[in-house]
Structures are given as structure tokens and as C-alpha cells.
Amino acid sequence: VPKPERQLIERVRSLAEGYSRQRRTLVTGIGDDCAVLRPPAGHELLVTTDFSLEGVHFYREWHPPESVGHRCLTRGLSDIAAMGGQALACFLSLALPADLPQSWVDRFYRGLLKLADQHGVSLAGGDTAQSPGGVLADIMVIGSVPRGKAPLRGGAKPGDLIYATGVLGSGGATVRRLYAGEKVGPASVPHYFIPQPRLKVGLRLRGIASAMIDISDGLSTDLSHICEESGVGALVFSSAIPMARDATLDDVLHGGDDYELLFTSSKSVPKEIAGVAITEIGEVVERAGMWLQDERGRTKRLKAKGWEHFSHDVKV
Ligand SMILES: [Mg+2]
């Protein structure tokens, strides 16, 4: 009698094979002791891991399984995008409660694999275990970038302008609506439930961005990482920020889960890349710290308030 874990591996393997096209970078995927990858010649590898934990990053009552799978992989792909890389393969470690329906797991994988396929990424391995409580998913994504070409967080210079892709605040606004008991889902807020990692945009920003990061924890926190790593400060024009419908300035600054790109540049920057708007929102300054300036020119200090995910207790 096969063990449940073996059954799950076989199931994932057949699901993954149903999606994966022939990938030149993946020599051997699921089914051996290790995956074998062949990165493009002259490239460096990018490696990122991110947890998606039930009760921290999602609730089964709020997020359909396809959305949980999609968002799980988005977290990793968005990091690869922020390095100007292309994604090669992903690895998923998954701990599941014993009473979780198989249909939930299948739908989770479908959401994840559909996104992987859209970006030419193979699910090349992972691990499974039983969880004593709640779904725990850890995604690892491997990407590559031409040697020395990844835009890092530490490259911003005073005088560079600050830019953001897409619209911001959808994550924060949607979480507020969920807490308020509103019925929202992928059909009403696709940007939150099925966010599109900005891989194409990231690739095109290589050689343009002096520093780059993805906006996963809110503008204030992610901008503070660029400032700290670059040893600079930032002035943000609040009226210039491209805000999602329903979003407040607080959602934009301190909400999470937007998965847009934030970058600095001294070069000429296109207004749109791969169908995604690029908006100038501020400038890099020499003095350490962050400031927010409103349309009347009034300036106040901007503090990084890291997103605490679903930090407070909630009845669902
Ligand atoms: Mg990141």
C-alpha cells in the first residue's frame, strides 16, 4: 500500500507534468533525489524563499485555494522580478492538516501551477508533511540574471527619482474590507487575489533602475529598505502615488501584498512597460530619513510601519 506522501508526490508530479512544457533549464525535475538545473551561460543564480501560513498570510475562509496557491508563488516570483531576473524553477514545501480535503490541495496546486506555466517556471521539487494545525507552504524560487546585472537595494543616489509600477494599496484596502465582513473575491478584486508578478517589467528595468525592491510589505517599509541599504533618504509626493480604487493613503503606505515594483533611477524611464504603468512618486535625497509631501507642499516625516500581516485576532 503506498504511503499518503508517495501518493501526494505522484499526484503533484502528474499535475506538474500536465502544465510544464519542455524547459531547457530543467534537466531533471520531480522524481529524483535533487532537481538538476542548467542556468543560462554567463548568468548568476537568484534564490528566494517565502512562507505562506494560514492565519498569517491567508485564511481558508477568505481566500479560495487557487488564490492561496497563486499568491504563494507570486511572493517568490515578485522577488525575482525585483532583481531583474527570469524565473527558472520553483520548489514547494507543504505541510497540510490531516483533515484537509484533497480537493483543496488540488485547487491550491492548480492556482500555483497555472501561474508557474504563465511564466515558464517548472515546479521542480519540494517536500510534504502533516501539519499539526493550519496549512503551511514554503515556496522557493530559483531565477537567473546576467552576471553583475541585478539591480540591488543599495544603488540609489541622491537626485535619482523614485518610481512605482501599477497601482498601490489594493492589498491593504482588500484586507480592510475582509475584516469588515464584506464578501470580496477574485472576481471583484483580482489585483489582490490573483496578483501578477512584474517579471517582464523587472527584466526591462535592468540597466535603468539604480535600486529596486518589490512592494510586499507596504511602500513605507519597502522604501525604507532601499534608503537604508543605499545610505540615502527619500521625499515622496503623496498626490503622485497611483492609488487603487478604495485605497487610502494608509493602505498604500503601510498595507501589504501589492507585489508591484519600487525603483530609483537617474535615467529616462518609460511611462509604461509591458502594459504596466510606471509612475514617478518622489526623489532620493542625501539626508537620511523619509518624508511625505502633500499637494500644498506641506512635508511630514514618513515612518516605516511594517505590515504585520493578519496580526490581530479575527472571527471568521
Ligand atoms: Mg521582496
Banded model confidence at residue 52, pLDDT cuts 50, 70, 90: very high
64-75: average pLDDT: 98
For strand 86-97 and strand 122-131, is the pairing parallel, antiparallel, or unpaired?
parallel
Residues measured by CB to lie within 5 Å of ligand 1, the ion:
79, 214
Distance CA 162, CA 211 (A): 9
Residue 132 Cα to ligand 1 middle (Å): 29
Residue position matching grid coordinates 546576467 = 146
Query: What are the backbone angles phi and psi of residue 279, rounded to the nearest 5°?
Result: -120, 135
Coil vs helix vs strand at 258: coil
Q: Classify residue 265 by its DSSP letter.
A: E
Q: 65, 55 in Cβ contact below 8 A? A: no
Residues 6+ apart with CB under 8 A from 311: none
Bridge partners (DSSP) of residue 163 are 263, 280
Residues 6+ apart with CB under 8 A from 29: 16, 20, 35, 89, 122, 123, 124, 125
Residue 212 Cα to ligand 1 middle (Å): 9
For strand 161-165 and strand 260-265, is the pairing parallel, antiparallel, or unpaired?
antiparallel
Coil vs helix vs strand at 310: coil
Residue 202 Cα to ligand 1 middle (Å): 12
Residue 3 Cα to ligand 1 middle (Å): 37
Residue 303 Cα to ligand 1 middle (Å): 19
Residue 51 reports pLDDT greater than 50: yes
56 burial type by CB count under 10 A (0-12 exposed, 13-18 middle, 19+ buried)? middle
- The number of beta carbons lying within 10 Å of the beta carbon of residue 222 is 24
Residue 277 Cα to ligand 1 middle (Å): 20
Residue 36 Cα to ligand 1 middle (Å): 25
26 burial type by CB count under 10 A (0-12 exposed, 13-18 middle, 19+ buried)? buried
Residue 6 Cα to ligand 1 middle (Å): 33
Residue 40 Cα to ligand 1 middle (Å): 23
Question: pLDDT per residue over 279-299, tens digit each?
Answer: 999 999 999 999 999 999 999
Most trustworthy range by pLDDT among 7-11, 32-36, 64-68: 64-68
Q: 231, 283 in Cβ contact below 8 A? A: no
Residue 260 Cα to ligand 1 middle (Å): 10
Residue 48 Cα to ligand 1 middle (Å): 9
pLDDT at residue 2 in the model = 43
Task: Single out the residue of 235, 241, 224 nearest to residue 169, CA to CA.
Answer: 241
Residue 49 Cα to ligand 1 middle (Å): 10
Question: pLDDT per residue over 169-223, tens digit each?
Answer: 999 999 999 999 999 999 999 999 999 999 999 999 999 999 999 999 999 999 9
Residue 11 Cα to ligand 1 middle (Å): 31
Average pLDDT of the chain to the nearest whole number:
91
Residue 4 Cα to ligand 1 middle (Å): 34
- The number of beta carbons lying within 10 Å of the beta carbon of residue 291 is 16
Residue 216 Cα to ligand 1 middle (Å): 6
Residue 101 Cα to ligand 1 middle (Å): 31
Q: 200, 273 in Cβ contact below 8 A? A: yes
Question: pLDDT per residue over 132-162, tens digit each?
Answer: 999 999 999 999 999 999 999 999 999 999 9
pLDDT at residue 26 in the model = 80
Residue 191 Cα to ligand 1 middle (Å): 17
> How far separated are the first and last CA of the chain, in Å rounded?
39
Residue 261 Cα to ligand 1 middle (Å): 9
Q: Tell me which long-range contacts 59-63 makes (C-beta under 8 A, separation of at least 24).
A: 59/310, 59/314, 59/316, 60/104, 60/135, 61/316, 62/178, 62/316, 63/193
